């Protein structure tokens, strides 16, 4: 039965590991189109801080290096774009890609988005509970994490404990459904090749530091100021996490510019570790090294996976 399922390729890994470039390389080799699975690149106006590829819109597609990208610049940052929203819209994009006889390549570091699509999770449609959110927003991330650990300990092991938005959303779902997110039903609607990029920790930390320095020089703080001018609240910026949360704190005067870069760099490194913890638990991921050799192996794996009438194997 597995052979009759639609084939999709997924590229995962921690932030700064090179997922976007590997996905683009594979798309060019395989006549593919990319579905971005990034919980911040989905929003319009979040470009520098989210590391959004510098593409442009052409005939209804977001194009980068000649490759169409879906699920980029889709949502207004004023509203929350949930994993349920992502699953629904990504399925539409996936069907459109297959209708053009191209290969769907899902690429990103938001593990729950990826699992929602790849495993067809039956996600509860839980609308925002504004009174509950208002109550929970008064609590610190540490307190929210403690609350989540009591009601859904498995989800607490994988969530970003410093991101109040995700903590509140997880608590909101449990409150509304009485079900733990970790116990949501999984399916396997697709025949999936999952490729993970593994970079040495020291090398990854250097890339994170260099990338952050570049983003600061490119106007990351100005980008957050523009978001504020558009009416995005400091609370919403903090909910968007990392670059946006720390820049928000800087603009509020809570930290200095020097503290901003130092603490943000440390937070991104810790986030990358949490991403690896999440992905490392998935035995279906085939890991390749960052760099030329890993890229070549990813191409071989993908070509073997897509080849018709051939016995697939992992080499």
Task: List residues forming the annotated binding site.
Answer: 13-20
Give binding residues for ATP as ranges: 13-20
Q: Which two tokens stand for residue 135?
A: 């109550």
Beta strands in 5-111 (DSSP E): 6-12, 32-36, 56-58, 61-64, 67-70, 103-107
Give binding residues for substrate as ranges: 15-20
Helix (H) or strand (E) holding 288: strand 285-289
Q: Which two tokens stand for residue 100?
A: 């053009």
Helix, strand, coil tally for the chain in percent (to 5): 50, 15, 35
Query: What gap in Å lies between CA 259 and CA 253, rounded to an integer?
Result: 11
Do strands 103-107 and 6-12 pair parallel, antiparallel, or not at all (unpaired)? Answer: parallel
Helix (H) or strand (E) holding 192: strand 190-198
Helix (H) or strand (E) holding 292: helix 292-306
Residue pair 162/267 in contact (Cβ under 8 Å)? The answer is yes
Residue pair 125/244 in contact (Cβ under 8 Å)? The answer is no
Cα R_g (the chain), whole angstroms: 19
Query: What gap in Å lies between CA 143 and CA 158, rounded to an integer?
Result: 16
**The total number of residues written for the chain in this structure:** 315
Distance between alpha carbon 115 and the CA centroid of its chain, in Å? 11
């Amino acid at each position: 039965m597995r052979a009759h399922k639609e084939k999709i390729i997924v590229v995962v890994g921690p932030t700064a590991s090179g997922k976007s470039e590997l996905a683009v390389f594979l798309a060019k080799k395989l006549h593919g189109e990319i579905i971005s699975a990034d919980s911040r690149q989905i929003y319009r106006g979040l470009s520098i801080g989210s590391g959004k590829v510098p593409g442009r819109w052409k005939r209804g597609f977001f194009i980068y290096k000649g490759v169409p990208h879906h699920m980029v610049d889709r949502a207004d940052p004023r509203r929350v774009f949930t994993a349920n929203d992502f699953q629904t819209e990504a399925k539409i994009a996936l069907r459109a890609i297959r209708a053009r006889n191209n290969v769907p390549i899902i690429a990103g570091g938001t593990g729950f988005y990826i699992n929602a699509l790849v495993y067809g999770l039956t996600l509860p449609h839980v609308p925002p509970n504004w009174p509950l959110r208002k109550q929970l927003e008064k609590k610190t991330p540490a307190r929210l994490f403690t609350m989540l650990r009591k009601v859904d300990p498995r989800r607490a092991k994988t969530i970003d404990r410093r991101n109040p938005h995700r903590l509140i959303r997880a608590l909101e779902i449990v409150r509304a459904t009485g079900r733990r997110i970790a116990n949501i039903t999984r399916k396997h609607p697709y025949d999936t090749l999952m490729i993970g990029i593994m970079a040495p920790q020291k090398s990854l930390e250097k890339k994170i530091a260099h990338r952050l320095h570049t983003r600061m020089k490119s106007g990351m703080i100005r980008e957050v100021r523009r978001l504020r001018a558009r009416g995005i609240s400091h609370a919403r910026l903090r909910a968007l996490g990392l670059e946006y949360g720390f820049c928000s704190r800087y603009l509020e005067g809570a930290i200095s510019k020097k503290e901003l870069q130092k603490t943000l760099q440390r937070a991104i490194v810790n986030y990358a570790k949490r991403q690896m913890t999440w992905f490392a638990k998935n035995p279906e991921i085939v890991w390749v090294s960052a760099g030329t050799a890993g890229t070549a192996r990813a191409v071989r794996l993908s070509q073997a996976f897509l080849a018709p009438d051939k016995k697939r194997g992992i080499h």
